[in-house]
Amino acid sequence: MERLQQLMRGMPAGGMGGAMGGDSPTPDCAEKVHVSSLALLKMLKHGRAGVPMEVMGLMLGQFVDDYTIHCVDVFAMPQSGTSVSVESVDPVFQTEMVDMLKQTGRPEMVVGWYHSHPGFGCWLSSTDINTQSSFEALNPRAVALVVDPIQSVKGKVVIDCFRLINPQLMMLGQEPRQTTSNIGHLQKPSIQALIHGLNRHYYSIVIDYRKNELEEQMLMNLHKRNWTTGLKVTRYEDFAASTQTIMDQMLKLTASYNERVQQEEGKTLEQIEVDNVGKVDPKRHLEAKVADLMSANIIQCLGTMLDTVVF
C-alpha cells in the first residue's frame, strides 16, 4: 500500500498527484440538478408503466455552470430489464432520437440517464455503476437518476441522483469532493443505499424542481373541474335509489336524536358531555344529510329543466 501511495505521489499534476497538493483545488460538491415538471411526470409515467420491470431513458438538458445541471426533458429507451438490472444503452437509437428531437425544437444535449427501481429504493447496482461509468467516459459531469414509482405517492416522489467516485481517491483515503454546502446532507440516505455502496462507489447530488408559469398552469388544470360538470344529470333510477337510501338514514338518525333528547332531560351540561363521549352525534349527521339531499335535488331539477329547454 505504501508503494502504491509513493507511485501516486509521483504522478503529474493532471492526474492524482495534483489532488495530493495542499493548495490544489478540489472538485466542489455544491452541485444541484434542476428537474422540470415535464421531465418528472414523464419519468414517473414511464416507470409506472414498466412495473415490475426496470425501465430506462436519457435526460436532455444543459450544463448551466459548474454548479447547476438543468434537465428539461427525457425520452425512453427501448431497453428491457429484470427486477434488479437493465440492459446497456443502444447508441444507434440514442443518436437517431437526439437528431429527431432537434428537428422538433429540442436542441438540448444528453446530461445523463435515468432508470427505475420499482419498490426497492434509490441506489446503484453493479450494472448501473458500469452504465454510469460509460456515460462519465463521454462526459465527466453526467449524472444517473433513480426513481421508485412504487414508493412514490401523492405529494412525495422517491427519487435520487448519483455520480461515481474515483476509486483511486478512495484508495488514498481522500474526500472525492470539497464540502462547501450542507444542502446535500439534508436528505438522510437510506440504509439500503449505504449497503449498496453510497459514499463509497458513488455520491448523491441534490435534486431541485423548477416550474415556469406555463407549467404551473398546466399542473393546476390537471384536476380542475369544468363548469359543465355541474350540469350533468344522474339517471333517474340511480338518483331515486340514492335519495331513498338517504331518506332511510335520516329516519334512523331522527329516531336516535329523539331518544337522545329524552335522555338529556333533567341533566346538566357536564353530565351530557360525559355521557356523549365517543358516541355519534345524530343531530350533526342529520344536518349534513339534509344539506346533501337538498343540494342534490336542486342540481338534479336545474339540470333537468336546462336539458328540457336546450335540447
Task: Please state, rounded to an integer, the average pLDDT across all residues of the chain.
Answer: 80
Task: Give the per-residue pLDDT at 175.
Answer: 62
Q: How far apart are CA 92 and CA 90, in angstroms?
A: 6
Q: How far apart are CA 114 and CA 112, in angstroms?
A: 7
Q: How far apart are CA 24 and CA 17, in angstroms?
A: 10
Q: How far apart are CA 69 and CA 228, in angstroms?
A: 43
Residues 122-135 have a mean pLDDT of 88
CB-count exposure of residue 106 (10 Å: 0-12, 13-18, 19+): middle
Q: For residue 156, what are the contacts with CB-CB under 8 A and spacing of at least 6?
A: none
Phi, psi for 105 (deg, rounded to 5): 95, 25
Task: Give the per-residue pLDDT at 185.
Answer: 55
Task: Please write the tens of the pLDDT for every residue from 185-219.
Answer: 556 778 888 888 888 888 888 888 877 788 778 77
Task: Give the per-residue pLDDT at 86.
Answer: 61
CB-count exposure of residue 39 (10 Å: 0-12, 13-18, 19+): buried
Task: Please write the tens of the pLDDT for every residue from 276-301.
Answer: 888 888 889 999 999 999 988 988 88
Q: Are the beta carbons of 166 and 176 closer than 8 angstroms?
A: yes
Buried-state track 57-93, b at ≥16 Cβ within 10 A, e below 16: bbbbbeeeeeeebbbbebbbbebebeeeebeebeeee
Task: Please write the tens of the pLDDT for every residue from 6-62.
Answer: 444 444 333 343 344 444 455 555 688 999 988 998 999 999 988 888 898 989 999
Q: How far is CA 126 from the centre of its chain?
A: 24
Residues 254-273 have a mean pLDDT of 88
**Residue in this structure with the C-alpha cell 438522510, named with its chain if needed:** 188
Q: Answer whether residue 263 shows pLDDT above 50.
A: yes
Task: Please write the tens of the pLDDT for every residue from 47-97.
Answer: 998 888 889 898 999 998 888 899 999 988 877 665 455 656 667 777 788
Angle at which helices 213-220 and 37-49 cross, to 10° = 40
**Residue in this structure with the C-alpha cell 422517491, named with its chain if needed:** 158
Residue 91 in grid coordinates: 447508441
Task: Give the lowest-confidence range in 97-111, 169-183, 223-237, 253-267.
Answer: 169-183
Task: Give the per-residue pLDDT at 174.
Answer: 65
Q: Answer whether residue 266 shows pLDDT above 90.
A: no
Task: Give the per-residue pLDDT at 84.
Answer: 53
* Structure-model confidence comparison of residues 170 and 26, the more confident one: 170
Amino acid at 201: H
Task: Give the per-residue pLDDT at 82.
Answer: 59
Q: How far apart are CA 251 and CA 282, in angstroms?
A: 11
Residue 240 in grid coordinates: 331515486
Amino acid at 104: T
Q: Answer whether residue 102 shows pLDDT above 90.
A: no
